[in-house]
Amino acid sequence: MEKKLIPDKDYRIPSSCGLAGIMSQDGKLFSGEAIIKSIATMHERSNGLGGGFAGYGIYPQFKDFWCFHLLYDNEEAKRTTEEYLKLDYEIEDDEAIPTRKVANVQPRHILWRYFLKPEIYPVRNSRIVTVGTEQYRQNEGTLKISNGVNTDKNEEDFIVETVMYINKQIDGAFVVSSGKNMGIFKGVGYPEDIGRFYRLEEYEGYLWTAHGRFPTNTVGWWGGAHPFGILDWSVVHNGEISSYGINQRYLLNFEYDCTLYTDTEVMAYLFDLLYRKHNLDFEIVAKILSAPFWDEIERMPEKEKEFYLSLRMIYGSALVNGPFAVVVANSTSMVGLNDRIKLRPLVAARKDDFLYLASEESAIREVCPAPDKVWSPKAGEPVIGKLKNKSLL
């Protein structure tokens, strides 16, 4: 009698999750159809509990406005969020995110998008006071001008503050993305089904990323699907972040709240903190998140050793432990990065001005049959693509 195979005992899907990213560094616009085809090649890497995409350059008519994509549990959450936004933002336009019926996708949320412009940069928990002819906001005894110029927060910081408030304080509301001229589209389902659900073939962008999820330690829900984002950042991740607890506590020091029940959320906030706020290059960010082991540092030349020791002392709590491969993007860049011993697969390729990243080479060749170069990045070594055409921003 033939032995019956038992799932997860006699066979399993190795390495979980599928990642894909395509970028035209010259800023050429191309349909979302390409990224759907790429991620669909790795169907077996996901189990239908999460799929998602990020597209850049997709809202050229609103490129000067912050675009918020939101998931709402109910109409009350939507009303509350809109009342909150109207306090400090001009809402240029808002609408339901266009979707189509797909048999394997059952939306459980209201999916809405807003194009916003901040009116002022207020300090939360503050009150308006008048000094002479000038109005100020007073917070903990400090006077701050409320005209959007002489405050201690820039516009991006204020957007982050808004996102954190909505996600933490408004029950049933979740900000999926909050950048300019970009958006994140995600949900529960296989990625190719999610792409069709959101009609991504109707959009054109110069950079797309995608994720097919195989959750192991966290729930499969619409807000927990990848990508995760803040401002124009998007992160897709394969692996587990065993340092999530210390990373989360470290980020709290900088007013980032993790509220979406998935470890990958810390990766989005760490990139924003280190690259945008601390002004570090991607190469240095990679050496913080995927740091060399202590014995490697000990064998380095003295000057290099001193540099890496300093990084570990300053940013030790930002080190990401556990197996991971990530594709991270913002409006100007796409970056691929592995953990420091490469426990998750990541393949890169180039063709003319295009950079491709994926969990498997097949996902690249599906949309680029004859790349100029294909390689497997080394552990902890970032692959970086930069946008040359800044007129798109």
List residues with catalytic annotation: 17
Backbone angles phi, psi at 115, to 5 degrees: -115, 115
From residue 292, alpha-carbon distances to 288, 309, 312, 335, 341 in Å are 9, 10, 9, 19, 9
Distance (Å, whole) CA 240 – CA 17: 11
320 with 341: CB under 8 angstroms? no
Distance (Å, whole) CA 345 – CA 364: 13
DSSP 3-state assignment of 358?
Answer: strand
Handedness of CA 242, 246, 251, 255 (dihedral sign): positive
From residue 363, alpha-carbon distances to 236, 270, 374 in Å are 15, 28, 12
Locate tokens 């080190």: which residue?
A: 319
DSSP state of 97: P
202 with 52: CB under 8 angstroms? no
78 with 72: CB under 8 angstroms? yes
